[in-house]
Structure 1
């Protein structure tokens, strides 16, 4: 988190300096916002060998390698989002934002030990600095907007890395991407200085990648790629 503070401070300084320059401009708005994220991980399903701490595969009683099933889950996680926004323009507008967000998701590991299988659910949670740049149209109180977003990971609960530790013989140091690029699109409503936004968020690049030594079910790839999709609902207050 400490190495991200200069970056965050620079973003906020840039946004506040631009805000000061446009404070008297017609069609300009600046405010704070906060709300919730409802997010889900996507990764597909795979069978992969389990390894011990020395990099050796676990063996069953019959001498065969233990292969567990890692499954994508439809369950989602709830997090928060909050930060500042600026809007330039009346009917056609550009809206940059800087938000601190928490997101995550779940997936299941079906452990095949002997004749019995056990299911373990892994709950993943991480925090990031999100910087969307939205372009939109406004008519009356209603808005629609869409645009690219850069997301910089500043912390995680390590459960994603811990869960994959036994399924890859390589290093996991660079498995979690610190910068992820995606998009936001949605609609909003402005009434008496209060803004309500509902957005869909997705990623173009991978949140995490893991090399495994067995094939992903239904493909010839040995790389697990995790992406993130979210719904975000926020309430904003116009300050300028």
Structure 2
């Protein structure tokens, strides 16, 4: 984990030192979240809100670090009951994306994400202690610049780490463990 954080800092430092142009902005959007792995989770709707810096490295390539508050989680069917259980988790996510301008209007992006669990509630009960405080994921997505300042986009975050606070002993247990799965649609404004 320390290596990932140091790598992100190194990328940011390199980007700021060599940046041709840096623009800051705000973004917000809709999250559709669930857990991947062998579980019976269903989608839960949430939101994300935060800021970003777009650091141009060369004409068609930028590094885009972000700081986002993201509501995530999943819905589960309660066995023998018609009521669903909503697991609502709030994260502070820090994605660092490589953003490539395919054209002046169309972009594609990909990069790692580090998430910090702020809270976790199941039907109003605090269950934060049952989940890991740090989450690792990988993002990929696309965006469209409507104007020089306003853009829209879609992104999928693949969870790479088990969100449950238990260790997995083998590959099958890791693959079956719950991992965050987030599809986001967002709008962004650059200053």
8 A Cα contact 1:210 1:225, kept in partner: no
TM-score (normalizing by structure 2): 0.76
The Cα offsets for residues 192-223 of structure 1, whole Å up to 9 and x where unpaired, read as 21011200111100111459xxxxxxx7x6xx
The Cα offsets for residues 28-63 of structure 1, whole Å up to 9 and x where unpaired, read as 221111111001123425xxxxxxxxxxxxxxxxxx
8 A Cα contact 1:31 1:84, kept in partner: yes
1:149–1:173 CA distance, 2 compared to 1 (3 A): closer
8 A Cα contact 1:184 1:201, kept in partner: yes
Alpha-carbon distance between aligned partners in 1 of 2:50 and 2:122, rounded to the nearest angstrom: 25
Deviation at 1:130, TM superposition (A): 0.4
Query: Which residue is 1:122 aligned to?
Result: 85
Query: Which residue is 1:208 aligned to?
Result: 164
Unaligned runs of 5+ in 2: 1-8
1:231 corresponds to 2:158: no
1:150 corresponds to 2:114: yes
8 A Cα contact 2:51 2:66, kept in partner: yes
SS at match of 1:128: strand
Q: How many residues align?
A: 167
SS at match of 2:130: coil
SS at match of 2:51: strand
Q: 2:24 aligns with which of 22, 27, 30?
A: 30
Q: CA RMSD in A?
A: 2.8
Query: Which residue is 2:78 aligned to?
Result: 109
Q: Which aligned runs of 4 or more in structure 1 are off by greater than 3 angstroms?
A: 158-162
8 A Cα contact 1:84 1:99, kept in partner: yes
Alpha-carbon distance between aligned partners in 2 of 1:173 and 1:197, rounded to the nearest angstrom: 31
TM-score (normalizing by structure 1): 0.62
Unaligned runs of 5+ in 1: 1-13, 46-71, 112-117, 163-171, 212-218
Say which structure is richer in strand: 2
Alpha-carbon distance between aligned partners in 1 of 2:124 and 2:161, rounded to the nearest angstrom: 17
Query: Which residue is 1:97 aligned to?
Result: 66
8 A Cα contact 1:209 1:225, kept in partner: no
Alpha-carbon distance between aligned partners in 2 of 1:127 and 1:100, rounded to the nearest angstrom: 7
SS at match of 2:62: strand
Q: How do residues 46-61 of structure 1 correspond to structure 2 at under 5 angstroms?
A: none
SS at match of 1:157: strand
Q: 2:137 aligns with which of 164, 172, 182?
A: 182
